[in-house]
Structure 1
């Protein structure tokens, strides 16, 4: 049987979980220097996920880090991190059904939206920068 949480219980649990250090994994990266003469665009991207877990519950946050392409090579490593929806939505909450005030279950995309509204962006990304490449790694 699935666990059932009220919206308040879900919010409390989400705040508690987001403060735990997640498991972070980089799943792909793309660094292309570009060449304007040949029409090759400059690209600096890193993809991955962060998994926040507590016994019986998980929040999985898929992310993409995009480098600043406006300047020199070193600027490509000035990353902006944002949610990356490689599936239907991100973040994903697993482990319980969350009920609204009318005792109806929230859909997955509604839970995802609630998480993004509830938790400040800097809380999602605070553990990620240490896993991103640095300029010396290209050499």
Structure 2
């Protein structure tokens, strides 16, 4: 395994294909390839395969396979809303790649991360969703670690 760690988002070579790990659950790894083929493999079997190797670092944008789709619509909508809030705090834009200027309170060129977190917390609280800067920071950390 060349000393690398496998986690969701990691690219691996197995069975003469390149796969992305989308979920680790107990002794199983769920893999998906470029053709959207899905495989569930015992991790011990995967590691023992003669052609197995970790070929790429985790891609943080990989969504946990199947977990989001299984949630009620209201919960999914809340997750998507938090994703927009987190993106705005981190980049200045609720949707990455927007051409317009970021709002002043979320502009990374003008405000520190702590100021942007506090601004987002105030904005959410004013909109009827009480939140603190600590909550925004925690949601950012979860998004970085787990994706949507």
TM range (shorter): under 0.3
Looking at secondary structure, tell me which structure has more helix per residue. 2
Q: Which structure carries more relative contact order (alpha carbon 8 Å, separation 6+)?
A: 1
Looking at secondary structure, tell me which structure has more strand per residue. 1
